[in-house]
Amino acid sequence: MDKTKVAVGIFDKRATEYQEKHKDVSLYGDSLDLFCDLINKGDAAILELACGPGNITKYLLNKRPDFKILGIDLSPNMLRLAEINNPDAEFQLMDCRDILELNNKYDAIACGFCLPYLSMEEAEKLIDDATKLLNPKGVIYISTMEDDYSKSGWQRGSNGDEIYMHYHQADYLADALVRNHFKLIEIERKDYPYEDGTNGIDLILIAKLLR
């Protein structure tokens, strides 16, 4: 079973539901504000990976209307919503594994909860690819679900859909950033309440290229 095709199908089917459920991104406001503050350039070019319906896009543009954002996602329905929600941004159907096909350079890359759908190896490659696309002193923002990687697997949601979730760990993500000449600016964890009453841990890493 192709994990990516399954995930895209679910997100296409649940796009409007997902948009409403995750519309409020204020839980991550402090880290998104820091991301914006680290980008000193006006009219900065921002690449947003797995932008979904553009909830994070909207937060960033409210904070920094000068940002020139390109959002990519694999779900056509998510992209349609993103375009409606953010008429001043651009959006493109693309797999985040293929970002080296983009011909532009960016001042920052935002990767909000894309990693749960990438393996450890794919996540580390994404960081390596991001390095190649960033301008000098470029900034990267990564958020993901933190737990032991071995706990990754198929999960059934409250709506009955099954999706493969990858958990990630701060140690190897931080190591990948350092190997790629990033300076870690922030490592933050937030409790995230699930519908069943339990809590998960959301991991946020913000880093800046040293060169």
How much is the pTM? Answer: 0.96
Query: Can you tell me the distance from the alpha carbon of 165 to that of 172, in angstroms, rounded to the nearest whole number?
Result: 18
Q: Band of the pLDDT at 195, cuts 50, 70, 90?
A: confident
Written out in words, the top-level CATH class of the domain with range 3-209 is alpha beta
Which residue blocks in 14-106 are alpha helix, DSSP H? 15-21, 29-37, 55-63, 76-85
Tokens encoding 170: 């701060």
- The CA radius of gyration of the chain, in Å to the nearest whole number, is 16
Least confident piece of the model among 47-51, 105-109, 131-135, 197-201: 197-201
CA neighbor of 58 nearest in space, from 37, 85, 80, 93? 85
Q: Which amino acid is at 22?
A: H
